[in-house]
Amino acid sequence: MKPKHLFVFGSYRLDAEERVLLRDGKPVTLPPKDVETLLVLVERAGHIVEKEELLEKVWPGVFVEEGNLSRRIFNLRQVLGDTEDGREYIETIPRRGYRFVAAVHEDGEPSAQAQAIPQPAQTAVHLGRKKSPWLWPLVLSVVLVATAYLVTRRFWPRQSPPSRKVMLVVLPFVNLSGDVHQDYFADGLTEEMITQLGQLQPAKLGVIARTSAMRYKNSRQSAAQICHELSVNYLLEGSVRQEGQRVRIAAQLIQGADQTHLWAESYEAPLTDILSVQRQIAERVTNSLRLELLPAQAGGSPNSAVNPEAYRKYLLGLNESRKGTREGGEKAIQYFQEAIATEPKNAHLYAALAEAHRASVPFYSPPNVAMPLAKEAALKALELDPNLASAHATLGDAYLLFDWDWKAAEAEYRQAQEINPSSPEAQLGYSDYLSTLGRHDEAITHAQQVYLVDPLALDNRIEALWIYYFSGRMQETIERAQKTIQLEPQAGSGYALLSLAYSQTGRRTETLQAAENASRFSDSPGVFALAVSALARIGERKKAGKFLERAQELAKTRYICRFLLAAALADLGQNEKALESLERGYREKST
């Protein structure tokens, strides 16, 4: 019996021998490991394929992180889209693996790319026995197609499958000025380089986000150690010295596996040409990695001159934003506004201002105050330059969290991801959108992408924890919270969510300990409100009442999400007060 190797589902055909996926007869570009993953799932369509089995079959004899498998599933979902009945082709089975849900038809005939020319004598005997003269035109067509295929293969060899995305980290540039007060300039340049590289060739080059990269400032770790910790192939490091209105930048690209220096160069230019220098470095990196650069984007030209004073204010604003404090956020907004007053046509300044307003929610400002300002600034940024991923992501947040306009939010997040898939804000925002609609498996897939591009960012991990929690995956929530606390042992929010997850699983002792730690390491009224809910659910009503008093006292001077407070009140049986808090939360558009 002829082996079956052509799998048909929906508008797709998967040729197992040639490792080719066709959509409506046209090849679909997929990396080799994506095809291997799809083939394993399709061969077992309708059945659960355990993660361990997938890892062994796709990477036989090689130890790989589970995140590699998650990335393959994510890529396949993006390519395949939905089935005719609106479901995803690949279903996640929590804590186990995946299942291919579409009906699959196995065809014994190879695809056009693998067909052999039939032998005429055998075909004639077969057709004569069946007495089906209408098949002769079909046979002739098959012969012609196969002949054309072989000729095509002879003169136009099949292209090799595309390689995996290369991962890169930009280490914090070293400030060589001798003045620690100039650190903001070096750190700002680092952040700008991350953004430049993340948007140059997003399909082939992934860039570790700024929060994780900045953890290695003044680090003594080797290139190999850093590359291993972040799971990257290359790192870019450099130094900067600003003297008056001139700047000197040195940069070098290093291969992590053997610490080979691929290139090293120095650039000296007027401060007004700083964007041009950044662009030159980005191009040097991508050319060294043999990546084809994207065509020049419309909008703000990277080679245009900058206003030195506006650029200084911009970098100072970024520096204040990174502090993650209320005072830092307010100073950042002030710096960005001063920069805009000097250079009102600079889209990047408005995008940074939008992010600063957005970052104040939910920690320092109510959404009904900050989100309209974030939305206004993001719209202005996109009016000046529609190719800013950060502005699209911030606008998506405004549509999702304030306007409650799901369709508009989805469009902005998708646009942000298309421009820069390495943007954690774009991935996490889209994950929040999916979770809001109850599409938790998809949401978690995007949250996992954030772990890949920004593995050391505490705030992103906390937000991702909510997605796991709302999906009902309590054990996974606990495990993720524990990893977050390992990253930052004094993460009050991490302990609060850990206590909440423990309470859902009835683990009394662990709930108490996590709630106590949350109160020790945080003065956020929201953190105390979460601890109230956790304690109330295990019957610790007296302690929960004390935590509630603390939360309400802190809320007199700091913002608290009224929905969290309502949940805490309801868990203590104070239903009328809970309803009042819900109504206020609705008016404030609490987040």
DSSP assignment string, 160-210: PPPPPPEEEEEPPPEE-SS-GGGHHHHHHHHHHHHHHHHHHSTTTEEE--H
Structural domain of 561: 472-591
**Residue 525 covered by a domain:** yes
Integer Cα distance of 409 and 4 in angstroms: 44
| pLDDT reading at 8 higher than 50 | yes
CB 91 within 8 A of CB 99: yes
Average pLDDT on 337-361 reads 92
pLDDT at 140: 33
Calculate Rg over the CA atoms of the chain.
28
**Residue 240 covered by a domain:** yes
Helix, strand, or coil (residue 518): helix
pLDDT at 149: 33
Do 496 and 388 reside in the same domain of the chain? no
pLDDT at 152: 33
| pLDDT reading at 563 higher than 50 | yes
CB 85 within 8 A of CB 102: no
Do 79 and 132 reside in the same domain of the chain? no
Integer Cα distance of 168 and 224 in angstroms: 13
Average pLDDT on 89-112 reads 76
Q: Indicate the DSSP class of residue 82.
A: B
Matching residue, tokens 């890169």: 168
| pLDDT reading at 411 higher than 90 | yes
pTM: 0.62
The enclosing H or E element of 12 equals strand 12-15
pLDDT at 292: 35
Q: What is the mean pLDDT of the chain?
A: 80
pLDDT at 385: 92
Closest of 521, 576, 565, 516 to residue 540, by C-alpha: 516
Strand order in the sheet with 20-23: 26-28, 20-23, 12-15, 6-9, 105-107
Helix, strand, or coil (residue 528): helix
Helix, strand, or coil (residue 109): coil
Where residue 42 sits, what CATH number does that domain have? Answer: 1.10.10.10
pLDDT at 399: 95
| pLDDT reading at 528 higher than 50 | yes
| pLDDT reading at 52 higher than 90 | no
Q: Note the helical H segments in 385-488.
A: 389-398, 406-419, 424-436, 440-453, 458-470, 474-487
Dig out the tokens for 456 from the structure: 């050391």
What Cα–Cα distance (Å) separates residue 10 from each residue in 110, 199, 309?
A: 17, 33, 58
Do 98 and 151 reside in the same domain of the chain? no
**Residue 450 covered by a domain:** no
> Which band of pLDDT confidence, cut at 50, 70 and 90, is reported for residue 147?
very low
Helix, strand, or coil (residue 260): strand
Do 96 and 124 reside in the same domain of the chain? no
Higher pLDDT, 151 or 254: 254
Do 151 and 174 reside in the same domain of the chain? no
Integer Cα distance of 65 and 41 in angstroms: 19
Higher pLDDT, 304 or 162: 304
Dig out the tokens for 12 from the structure: 């797709």
Poorest-pLDDT segment among 39-43, 160-164, 193-197, 398-402: 160-164
Do 404 and 519 reside in the same domain of the chain? no
Domain boundary among 420, 451, 482: 420
Higher pLDDT, 462 or 164: 462
**Residue 465 covered by a domain:** no
pLDDT at 185: 85
> Which band of pLDDT confidence, cut at 50, 70 and 90, is reported for residue 290?
low
Do 177 and 273 reside in the same domain of the chain? yes
Closest of 489, 488, 485 to residue 497, by C-alpha: 485
| pLDDT reading at 299 higher than 80 | no
Buried b (16+ CB within 10 A) or exposed e, 378-412: bebbbebbebbbbbbbbbbbbbbbbeeeeeebbeb
Where residue 258 sits, what CATH number does that domain have? Answer: 3.40.50.10610
Evaluated on CA atoms 589, 456, 466, 506, the torsion sign reads negative
Integer Cα distance of 77 and 448 in angstroms: 14
| pLDDT reading at 3 higher than 80 | no
> Which band of pLDDT confidence, cut at 50, 70 and 90, is reported for residue 397?
very high
Integer Cα distance of 156 and 158 in angstroms: 6
Evaluated on CA atoms 383, 385, 389, 390, the torsion sign reads negative
**Residue 411 covered by a domain:** yes
* Backbone angles phi and psi of 131, in degrees to 5: 55, 55
Highest average pLDDT, of 67-76, 249-258, 462-471, comes from 462-471
pLDDT at 62: 58
Query: For a pLDDT cut of 70, what percent of the chain falls above it?
Result: 84
Do 532 and 566 reside in the same domain of the chain? yes
Do 276 and 383 reside in the same domain of the chain? no
Do 587 and 516 reside in the same domain of the chain? yes
Poorest-pLDDT segment among 18-22, 360-364, 530-534: 360-364
The enclosing H or E element of 373 equals helix 367-384
- Single-letter amino acid code for the residue at 313: K
What Cα–Cα distance (Å) separates residue 162 from each residue in 34, 165, 330, 439?
A: 11, 9, 46, 30
Where residue 504 sits, what CATH number does that domain have? Answer: 1.25.40.10
Helix, strand, or coil (residue 389): helix
| pLDDT reading at 462 higher than 70 | yes
Do 476 and 591 reside in the same domain of the chain? yes
Beta bridge partners of 255: 234, 260
Do 187 and 230 reside in the same domain of the chain? yes
Integer Cα distance of 455 and 487 in angstroms: 10
Q: What is the DSSP string of 270-328?
A: EGGGHHHHHHHHHHHHHHHTT-PPPPPPSSS-TTS---HHHHHHHHHHHHHHTT-SHHH
Dig out the tokens for 10 from the structure: 């929906």
**Residue 446 covered by a domain:** no
The β-bridge relationship of strands 6-9 and 12-15 is antiparallel
Q: What count of other Cβ atoms lies within 10 Å of the Cβ of residue 252?
A: 15
Query: Using one digit for the tens of pLDDT, what is the confidence trace for 211-234?
Result: 888 888 888 888 888 888 888 888
| pLDDT reading at 577 higher than 90 | yes
**Residue 347 covered by a domain:** yes
Average pLDDT on 9-32 reads 83
pLDDT at 362: 67
**Residue 368 covered by a domain:** yes
Torsion over CA of 392, 393, 397 and 399, rounded to 10 degrees? 30
pLDDT at 305: 67
Q: Indicate the DSSP class of residue 88.
A: B
Angle (CA) 329 335 341, round 5°:
140
Structural domains of the chain, count: 5
